[in-house]
Structure 1
Amino acid sequence: MSKQERDSIMNLLVQVDTDDQRYRSALQSVQSQYGGNSPEMKSLIGKMNTADSINLIKVSAILDHYGWLGAKEIGNQGNVTLFMVIQHSRSEAQEKYLPMMRDAVKKGNANAGSLALLEDRVALHHGQRQRYGSQLMWDMRTNQYRLSPLEDPDNVDARRLAVGLPSLQEYLALFGLEWNLDEYKKTAAVNEAEFFKHNPM
């Protein structure tokens, strides 16, 4: 890859990153103020989905031509942006690039913690429980986030630690939630049935 190509990719990814976060930064406040099923929320999600589709076209062109570029080639932010666009894309793209990202992690060109997030999303899409507890769902009844179905909750923190993620308690605290293992187990069956009812494969 020439310096001109590298600079061009890095500049493109700066704009992609801006577009990726433009609408997401307002999601939580709009959900809290108007509700998850409000016209305001639907409008915001529509704009976000359009931006995601455009970003995926740009990032797919990079990945399909160069492979998963590491931070040494496109900088830390550029490398993170590749992941974020795939993480925010439709399931078909996530599944297409998941093997590429797994290989990139082995080569040191992608972050293991980021891969864990993508693994969780793909698992949930296939009707399986997530392994790392990275994915939350919006509860229309309580108007707040709730943890999506989780495999082997007793050992989730060990799995998170192994890929460099903070404890589940620390992570959930970012969303104003507490991690209570016993409470999770008590309500897991009901929560899972509700989740997979509203999120079929």
Structure 2
Amino acid sequence: MARELVDRIAQDGRLTTQAQRLPGAQMRRRVARCRAVNAAALREIVEESGWPTAELVGEEASTAALMILLHADDLALKLACRDLITDAVERGQCPPIHAAYATDHCAVELGRPQPYGTRYTPLGRPYPVADPDGVDARRVAVGLRTMAAEQQALAEIQLRRLSRASA
């Protein structure tokens, strides 16, 4: 199970990189198909074994499962897994940062403010954040950078991409 999760997210990454280099409808369909198949496989794993915690499959595979979940276009799966992840965090079987990402993804898809500010628009702005004055404390508590530090890091990544593209 662990190897399958890691292999699946690696394939997603390869296809996503290809789609960024060669944008077009065919590549978008390939990425979407990969993510749909990955989500179906994750659903099966979750139904049979529960959330693939670090304790069950190791940290790398548990993080791969989270990435598959975040890339899935299946809100029902995201909501169910968010609750499983939250329970696993409470039992010490999953890192709190996983619950933060799952929670924010669900909130944004439901049109609600996100508690941790992990989701950004395609223009690089955070989606609305619940209690903006308390967001940095919530982020730091689960192992995330402050919003300012995150936005600075994202700006630096964008600058590197632009400089590579113009080179």
Do they fold alike, i.e. is TM over 0.5?
Answer: yes
Please tell me the residue identity of whatever aligns with 2:9: D
Separation (CA, whole Å) in 1 of partners of 2:97 and 2:78: 16
Deviation at 1:80, TM superposition (A): 0.6
Q: Does 1:18 align with 2:10?
A: yes
TM-score by length of 1: 0.69
Separation (CA, whole Å) in 2 of partners of 1:95 and 1:83: 12
Alignment-derived partner of residue 169 in structure 1:
148
Please tell me the residue identity of whatever aligns with 1:99: D
8 Å contact from structure 2 (residues 54, 62) kept in 1: yes
Q: Secondary structure at the match of 2:7?
A: helix
TM-score by length of 2: 0.82
Q: Secondary structure at the match of 1:124?
A: helix
Q: How many residues align?
A: 155
Deviation at 1:15, TM superposition (A): 1.2
Q: Does 1:105 align with 2:89?
A: yes
Q: Which runs of 5+ in 2 are unaligned?
A: 157-167
Q: Which runs of 5+ in 1 are unaligned?
A: 1-8, 31-38, 140-144, 178-201
Separation (CA, whole Å) in 1 of partners of 2:37 and 2:18: 19
Q: How does 1:127-146 map to 2 (within 5 A)?
A: 127-139=111-123, 145-146=124-125
Separation (CA, whole Å) in 2 of partners of 1:169 and 1:104: 29
Q: How does 1:1-201 map to 2 (within 5 A)?
A: 9-25=1-17, 40=23, 42-90=25-73, 91-139=75-123, 145-176=124-155
Alignment-derived partner of residue 162 in structure 2:
none
Separation (CA, whole Å) in 1 of partners of 2:105 and 2:35: 16
Rg larger in 1 or in 2? 1
Please tell me the residue identity of whatever aligns with 2:102: L
Distance 1:25 1:152, change over 3 A: farther
Separation (CA, whole Å) in 2 of partners of 1:44 and 1:58: 21
Please tell me the residue identity of whatever aligns with 2:82: L
